Every structure is written in C-alpha cells, then in structure tokens.
Structure 1
Amino acid sequence: MNADNIKTKVLLAGATGYLGRHIAKELEIRNIPTRILVRNSKKAKGLSAASATIIQAEVTKPETLKGLFSGVDTVISTVGITRQKDGLTYWDVDYRANVNLLKEAMASGVRKFIYISVLNGNRHKNLKIMEAKESFVDELVASGLQYTIVRPNGFFSDMKDFLEMAQKGKVYLFGNGEQKFNPIHGKDLAIACVDAIENENNEINIGGPDILTQNEVAEMALLACGKPIKIIHLPHWLRRLIIWALRMFTSSKTYGPIEFFLTLMAEDAIAPRYGSHRLSTFFQKEMDTLKKK
C-alpha cells in the first residue's frame, strides 16, 4: 500500500503485547491513522506516534468502548491471554472481550475485523485457550463483517523457553524431538497483519521462513548460550500424564497454558513460510542483551 493514498483508519486492540507492539509500529511506518486501545496507559510507553491516538479503555467492559469506533474502517485485535491473571479467564478475555469489540464495530459501521488466533486452533477446541479463541472466530464469521483470521505459528518470543532451559545446560523435549514447525518473528507477522487490511483472504496460515525440528531449535538455543549440546528426550506417556494430572488437580488458570504447549509440542505445525527473520539470529540477540545487563 502507498502511504500517500491511505485514508484507512484502524483501531488496534491488544497493542501492549508482543505482537500488538509490532503491529502498532508497522501502522506507524505506513503512516496509517490509528486509534490504539490500552487498558493501562503506563504500558503504552513507546506506542505514541504522529499517526496514532492512544485511548484508555477496558475491552472487558463494553461501556468503555462506546463511541470509540466512530469513523474506523478496520479493527485489528490481538486481544488474548496466555496465562490467566487479574481474576480473568480465557472466556472473559479471548472470547467475551473480543465479542465486545466486534459488537461495537458492527454498531459503528466498521468495514473489516482482523483477528489473530493460532495455527491449527480450530483442531484443538478441547483446549481451554482454543475453546475461547475459536468460539470468537465463530462469532466473527457469522457477523456479516468482512474479516481475516490470521493463524500464526509460534512466536519467536515463545521460543525463549528453549533459551531458559539452555542457559541451565539442558533442553528437555518430548518424544524424539523431530516434530517440525516454523515459528515467526513479530515484525514479519505484523507486516502480514497490516497487509490484511486490504487483502481479501478470510483466513491466513503463516509461519517463519525456516522449518525446524525441535531438536534443531534446542541445538540453536544451546549454541547461543555457549553450552554443549545436551538434549534430554522424555517419553510421550509422561507428557500425557502431566496433562491429565493438571486437569484433574488444578484449575484452568494453572493447567491452561501448560496443556496448550504440551499438546502442540507433540505434533508437526508447518505453515506457509513468510518473512526474513531467522530464529538463530533472534537467539543470539537475546543472549547479547542478557550479557549487557
């Protein structure tokens, strides 16, 4: 899109998260007039731009959204939680908060709604996180608005778990570690999300440029930490036992993110390749940053 010809006004919700910040930056680069919704103005540091207006509102409280969508052409929502906090559940945030945004968008004559879900999320509705996300997807599809559901593979930021294990000298994997996936950097994903304002795809599956095995990611992490290659492979029955025990004896607040990660680690997750950022470079930059602290 040529920035000189843009008349689009975007409302961005979830801008203080990993992906949201990258989307806000991409909108700024393209000089797209944007309203950025934030719950906590202190977390909005670094989001201000000449083309952006920061507005304080709580997406879980629909009354705070009234009138904020006037003149908006497109809503982009990255709203969701990985770990439940502040007494809010996945259903409160991933489903109801997004429904609040959708209803206000529909009432205000918004043209399009872009929602970021998860790759293969529609195949895992049995997981607490995905149940809420995919229930909202169903609402969006039935809304009558133009829409794009962006389904990314794992974020580079999620790969920090490998680095944390590697710093301790060992990386633990389930099974043989040959499951393949292609995680994506937030900058690359943000470009695709902003491109979706004008493209007509109803659904976009997207991953990074490199398809890697879990073993390869573990090796990258260990090398970035300057550690010898030491990967411990645990049996899948142990993974299944952990999920069962957590579901039986803890609340969804505890087991939700763990069942999500443990389930997805057991299968291939390969999306169409996109972008230019490499995970090995990301790991090295993360370690360089840690060394400076």
Structure 2
Amino acid sequence: MDTKQTTETVLLAGATGYLGHYIAEELIRQNIPAKIIARRPEKVEYLGGENREIIHAEVTRPETLIGVCEGVTTVISSIGITRQKDGLTYMDVDYQANLNLLNEAKKAGVRKFIYVSAINGDKYRQLKIFQAKEAFVDALKASGLDYTVMRPNGFFSDMRDFLDMAKGGRVYLFGDGHYQMNPIHGEDLAKVCVNAISSEEKEIAVGGPDNLSQNELATLALKAWNKPIKITHLPDWIRRMTIGLVRTFTSSKTYGPIEFFLTLMADDQLAPNYGEHHLEDFFKKEAERMRREK
C-alpha cells in the first residue's frame, strides 16, 4: 500500500452525479479512505464499505455541513448544475454551495480542495453557468488552501444531445461543422481528479482521446442508430439570433444551458488528450440502451 493510501482521507461532494459516482469508484479502486456526502444517502449506499462513510448533508444548507471535514485532508467537489431546478440557481449551487463546503474545509484545516469546473470557464465568464463557477474558482484561489481546478472538455453524457437529434434521422449544426472538441468519459476523468490529490498543478485541462469535428460527432451519432448520414448546416446568424432571443425573452433557468451550448459550439474546444474510452463506443451503447427502454 502506498503512502497516499495510508495518509489521505477524502471528502467527496457530488457522488450522485454523472462524474461523482465515477470519482467515488476510483477512490474505492485506489483504496483511499473517503467520506461521501449526499442529500439522499440511499442513492449512494452501494458505495459504502470499509474505509468509507456515507454522510447525510446538503451543500446548499451550511448547517448540515458542520463537522463533515474533520479528519479530512482533501475535498473533491463535482457539485454543479447544468439546468436550474428545484428553485435553485447557478449561484445557489455552483457558487454558494461550494463556498459553504470550502468554508467548512478551512475551519477543519483541510490541506487541499479539488474543484471540477469546465474548459475555458475563465474565458466565458459572461455565460450564466460560468459566472457562478468562476466566482467560486476566485474564492478558492483566495482561500489559502492548496487547490486544483479541473477543466474537463465536456462529458460523454453531454453529447447525448447529438444522439437524441440523430435518432430522428438528421443532425442540425450551425456553420460548416468544422469546429473540434474532445469530450471525456466520466471514468477517465475520475482518474485524473483522484490523481490530482498528489499533483502540484493548480489547473488541469483534460479531454478524451479523440479530437472530433462537429461533423464527425454527428456522423458517429447517426451511425449509432444505423441511419444514413444526413447533416444540415444552418447559417451561424441563426445561432447568434437564438442566443439573443432566449436571453431577452426567457429566464436564466431556460436560457442558461442553451446559451452555454450554443456559445461553445462556435469555436474549437480542445484539451490535452487522455483516457481509454471512445465516444463512438459510448454512442453505440447508449443507442442500444435507448432501444431496449422503448
């Protein structure tokens, strides 16, 4: 057993999310003692066992976090929302909930805080989602704790929008579809997050192993459904007009994810390549699952 395994105790927040459960499983795989906090503990009971404690707490309610960081050396938080719900805003969750956790970590003398933001979040602070995330990054950097900000290039799960569109037999893209991205699977990203415990890097940008243009993403999604390759390219002014309209006529609850998606689709979003999982395989498995669930 290596030194990290005998000296680290991790507090994990966000274990019920797509990435969080992979991080929990990676902590188990590396035999790192962990406290796992959850608003609904029954959803993470399967992660319990030796050296693991399941704690009922709500990051949006600081009074429930009192004492959770005692004996903890590193906090890992993947807390965040893509779509606002339950009356909670991005500032309530991505900023304030993480700040509640950070304040508790400081009181307990935690050594390091690892936070999962997103690629180029510092470049797109004007977006509602990133406004909240980067406000917390600022607070983390000023906290006095050692820290690492993870900047993944989108999750495989975020690419389901392409798959949903392809199910109808055609994918619509803005512009000519040449912009590239390399999304990453949660299991691969979880390894990077856990390995960051012993890393000295302050910010880690990471993407999956395959750099794919939007045209290639659309093609993979259509192939997963065994559909002919039908891609329609829409003028980019429609994308810009759509962003303006949703900002003007809808609430941030509605336009936040639309603004985020449409803005990032208008540029290359590439990060250093990492991992063993390929989006093509993910699309095939997801399409098979969706067929079974009909």
**What is the TM-score normalised by the length of structure 2?**
0.97
Corresponding residue number in structure 2 for 1:113: 113
Segment of structure 1 superposing worse, 264-273 or 39-48: 39-48
Determine whether 1:10 maps to 2:10.
yes
| 1:162-203 deviation line (CA, Å, top 9, x unaligned) | 110111101111110000110100000000000000111000
Counterpart CA distance in 1 for 2:220 and 2:210 is 13
CA 1:5/1:238 → structure 2, altered by over 3 Å: closer, same or farther? closer
Task: In structure 1, list runs of 5 or more residues that go unmatched.
Answer: none
What amino acid sits opposite 1:134 in the alignment? Answer: E
Determine whether 1:212 maps to 2:212.
yes
Task: In structure 2, list runs of 5 or more residues that go unmatched.
Answer: none
Q: How many residues align?
A: 293
Q: Runs of 4 or more off by more than 3 Å in structure 1?
A: 1-5
Please give the secondary structure, in 1, of the residue aligned with 2:147. strand
Task: Return the offset for 1:46.
Answer: 3.2
**Matched ranges for 1:125-140 at <5 A:** 125-140=125-140
**What is the TM-score normalised by the length of structure 1?**
0.97
Counterpart CA distance in 2 for 1:46 and 1:68 is 20
Kept in 2, the 8 Å contact 1:3–1:30? The answer is no
Calculate the aligned-residue CA RMSD, in Å: 1.3
Kept in 1, the 8 Å contact 2:112–2:147? The answer is yes
Task: Return the offset for 1:3.
Answer: 7.6
Corresponding residue number in structure 2 for 1:284: 284
Counterpart CA distance in 1 for 2:47 and 2:249 is 41
Counterpart CA distance in 2 for 1:40 and 1:52 is 16
Segment of structure 1 superposing worse, 106-115 or 1-10: 1-10
Counterpart CA distance in 1 for 2:30 and 2:232 is 45
Task: Return the offset for 1:4.
Answer: 8.2
Please give the secondary structure, in 2, of the residue aligned with 1:274. coil
Kept in 1, the 8 Å contact 2:23–2:194? The answer is yes
CA 1:64/1:4 → structure 2, altered by over 3 Å: closer, same or farther? closer
Counterpart CA distance in 1 for 2:19 and 2:255 is 24
Report percent identity of matched pairs: 61
Task: Return the offset for 1:77.
Answer: 0.3
Corresponding residue number in structure 2 for 1:90: 90
| 1:228-250 deviation line (CA, Å, top 9, x unaligned) | 00011111111111111111111
Counterpart CA distance in 1 for 2:85 and 2:29 is 33
Counterpart CA distance in 2 for 1:253 and 1:197 is 34
